[in-house]
Amino acid sequence: MTVVIVAPGQGSQTPGFLEPWLAEPQFSDHLEALAEAAGVDLRTHGTTSDADTIRDTAVAQPLIVGASLLSIAGVLDGGRRDRIAGIAGHSVGELAAAAGAGIIDESDAMRLVAIRGRAMADAAAQVATGMSAVIGADADALTERLNALGLAAANVNGGGQIVVAGELDALERLREEPPAGARVIPLQVAGAFHTRFMESAVEALRAAASEVTVSDPRLRIWTNRDGSTVASGREFLDLVVGQVASPVRWDLTMENFAASGITGLVELAPAGALVGLAKRGLKGIPTVAVKTPDDLSAAQALIDQESAA
């Protein structure tokens, strides 16, 4: 059992990406149940809504988690839940991972992600903030520059990619005067996620999470907080709540995948970003990005192959 399942975070969505899934009745019916739990029209947003609409945090987050939950059922069909090494999620993907591990049920995951998305959108509206990807910077030089500008490392993704966040004027100054050898790429997001600017969202999500029934995980699960595994369902959910205003350490998560002997990785829909990071941070392991139902057979084959090795 050496394949890990991973659920992507915000920014993975693209216009129309759910159309292939909704062509199949079992996935269409499943999506309707997920949409009802979230109170968000996932069908419209996953098929006909434009890029600006699905960039809205309150729309993007339920859409991404809904897609991951839709695809995990197909990936693990045929008893494959017992053949994988575990599960993890990047940022908002941790709610999909929590449901996949049996910590919370799918309806609670969708209800929480809808609250999370709205609360983070509200927090982002308070101050003009954003995020930028920094590629190729020396870590010490970048830290010094961030401290000088009042910025923070929000996502440390591994493979030389760090996403920084803070007020827009400071991000522009970083773009104009980056550390030596670095590129700074502004991201199309609404605010400084995973920083102190999201504290009000933490409180809103904490109140909602306190009302959810929680079980201990039935699958090994890794946390973004420091890449470690967590055996308590309540502890994991508490970490998911606090993570809204704290950095995502995907680099440490991948390091712990490697230390655990992971030999394959399957990324749930809307896939692509985490497979890309794995190709740089977990070099040499086979990966499958589940973008459409046509990719399910390759994901299942990888699980079967690695579990039999």
- Catalytic residues, by residue number, are 91, 194
Residue 38, judged by CB atoms within 10 A of its CB (0-12, 13-18, 19+), counts as: buried
Give me 152's structure tokens. Answer: 């923070």
The length of the chain is 309
Report which residue type is found at 25: P
Q: What is the bridge-based pairing of β-strands 161-167 and 86-89? A: unpaired
Asked whether 261 and 3 are in contact (CB, 8 A), the reply is no
Task: Give, in order, the Cα–Cα distances in Å from 43 to each of 55, 191, 296.
Answer: 15, 26, 21
Residues 6+ apart with CB under 8 A from 190: 55, 56, 57, 120, 121, 124, 125, 130
Q: Is the peptide bond before 270 cis (omega within 30 degrees of 0)?
A: yes
SS3 109: helix
Q: How far is CA 221 from CA 137, 157, 218, 231, 241, in A?
A: 30, 18, 9, 8, 16
CA atoms of 248 and 93, how far apart (whole Å): 11
